[in-house]
Amino acid sequence: MGQVSLGSGKAGVDAAEEVSGPWREAIRGILHHKMAVAGLIILVFFIGVAVLAPLLTPYDYKEQVLADRLKPPSAEHWFGTDDLGRDVFTRVVYGARISLWVGFASVVGSIVVGTMLGIIAGYYGRWLDMLISRLFDILLAFPGILLAIAIVAILGPSLFNALVAIAIVNIPTYGRLVRARVLSLKQEEYITAAKSIGMKNGSILLSHVLPNSLTPIIVQGTLGIGTGILEAAALGFLGMGAQPPSPEWGKMLSDSRQFIQTAPWTLIFPGVSIMLTVLGFNLLGDGMRDILDPKMRR
């Protein structure tokens, strides 16, 4: 009996380590991964810029001074001015708030709904799995940006509706990822043991299945924020995202495309901001994958 008890205790410790492992390993390993550190530095910079936006510039992003329209970068206007005389640096700085918020919020929405549907489909199976999987297949049958455009066209152009559209488009990505993970987990011995002692399905899902499904969600979520920012910029460029005078980076590109030759700074700075932010999330996401995915470790 003593040996059985010892074995059970060890299994419990291993299970606990499996649950908390991804978080602990991510925090410890990220500082030893060059790409992840580079991505983290970029993201910390842009997050700091977004938080400190009112302190970084004396101008209002909505302030129009037509006498100063299309002025090149100078000591007074670091990034120059746009066609309405607005300070481009100010609008880029405040645009970081919008782009980061859209990226984070859309990914959180996708993860919450996709994870819930994926767990239900993978754990309960049968007709629920078939119904949810077919829903995922329908959403994946359309190119993501076209589906997002269709959703925004139905709901109406606005930043919030663009956020909702981006979240809906990315639900299948997380749903299928979690479903595959749950299909593997529910065959594990500790799940069978939990069922044998009478633990309810809800408790099993919250205590065992969900915590052990976090690793792929963390990685995909980190990469997904960059994708969300790109999709928001694309919708803004098409006039279906943020509306004037919001300083959203994609909308800034759209408003300035006619000045690409006469005032290229109006496009360069928001474009570079999009590129660097997405690069930061991609580097961090790739680093997280290398740290957390056993198949990627050497």
Q: What is the pLDDT of residue 104?
A: 93
User: Minimal CA–CA distance to 247: which of 98, 101, 103, 104?
Assistant: 98
In the predicted structure, residue 206 carries a pLDDT above the cut 60: yes
Is residue 15 assigned to a domain?
no
**Which 8-state DSSP code applies to residue 81?**
B
Q: Read off the pLDDT band of 36 (50, 70, 90).
A: confident
Q: What is the pLDDT of residue 190?
A: 74
Distances in whole angstroms, Cα of residue 206 to Cα of each of 21, 26, 244: 17, 21, 43
Section 201-223 average pLDDT? 81
Dist. CA 81–CA 74, nearest whole Å:
10
Among 20-29, 249-258, 274-283, which stretch is predicted with the lowest mean pLDDT?
Answer: 20-29
Q: What is the pLDDT of residue 2?
A: 42
Is residue 17 assigned to a domain?
no
Q: What is the pLDDT of residue 210?
A: 80
Among 8-17, 94-103, 189-198, 203-212, which stretch is predicted with the lowest mean pLDDT?
Answer: 8-17
Section 70-89 average pLDDT? 90
In the predicted structure, residue 265 carries a pLDDT above the cut 60: yes
Dist. CA 267–CA 255, nearest whole Å:
9
Condensed to tens digits (0 to 9), the pLDDT of residues 129-166 reads: 899 999 999 999 988 889 999 999 999 999 999 999 99
The structure tokens listed for 160 are 């919030």
Q: Read off the pLDDT band of 183 (50, 70, 90).
A: confident
Is residue 13 assigned to a domain?
no
Is residue 12 assigned to a domain?
no
Host domain of residue 192: 22-296
What is the number of domains present in the chain?
1
Dist. CA 137–CA 221, nearest whole Å:
20
Q: What is the pLDDT of residue 23?
A: 56
Is residue 16 assigned to a domain?
no
Q: Please report, for the domain that includes residue 127, its CATH number.
A: 1.10.3720.10
Dist. CA 44–CA 50, nearest whole Å:
10
Percentage of the chain beyond pLDDT 70 is 88
Is-contact 266 82, C-beta < 8 A?
A: yes
Is residue 2 assigned to a domain?
no
Section 242-248 average pLDDT? 86
Dist. CA 241–CA 159, nearest whole Å:
5
Is residue 283 assigned to a domain?
yes
Section 102-108 average pLDDT? 92
